[in-house]
Amino acid sequence: MVDETKANRVKIEWFRVITPILVTVSIFIAAMLLTKVNDIDNRLFTHLTNDEIHIPRGCVVSQAEFDMYAKFATQERAEVLRVLEKINDRIK
C-alpha cells in the first residue's frame, strides 16, 4: 500500500515538471503557426492586388453583366433551396 502511494506521488511530480514544458512548447508552436498564416495572408493580398498580373474586374465585366449574373445566381440558390425543402418533406 505504501508503494502505490509513493508511485502516485512520483507520477504527480512528473506531471508538475512536464506540464509547464508542454504548455511552453504549445505556445511556441501556436506562435509559429500564427506567423505563417500572417505571412500567407500578406503574400495573397500582394498577389491579388498586383495590377501587372490581374486585370481589374471593372475592365472585364460591366455592371449590367454583373447584375445579370447576380440575378441568375440568386435564382439558382432559390431553386436549390426549394429542391432541398422538397427532399426534407419527403424524408419526414
Hey, where are the domains in the chain? Answer: 1-54, 56-92
Successive 10-residue mean pLDDT values, the chain, 92 residues: 73 89 96 93 79 67 83 95 93 85
Cell of 29: 508552436
Residue 19's pLDDT is: 93
Q: How many residues are present in the chain?
A: 92
pLDDT digits (tens, 9 = 90+) for 12-30: 888 888 999 999 999 999 9
Coil, strand or helix at 33: helix
Coil, strand or helix at 83: helix
- 53: enclosing H helix or E strand: none
Q: Does the predicted TM-score (pTM) go above 0.75? A: no
Distance of alpha carbon 45 from alpha carbon 25, whole angstroms: 30
Task: Tell me if 47 sits within 8 A of 53, measured CB to CB.
Answer: yes
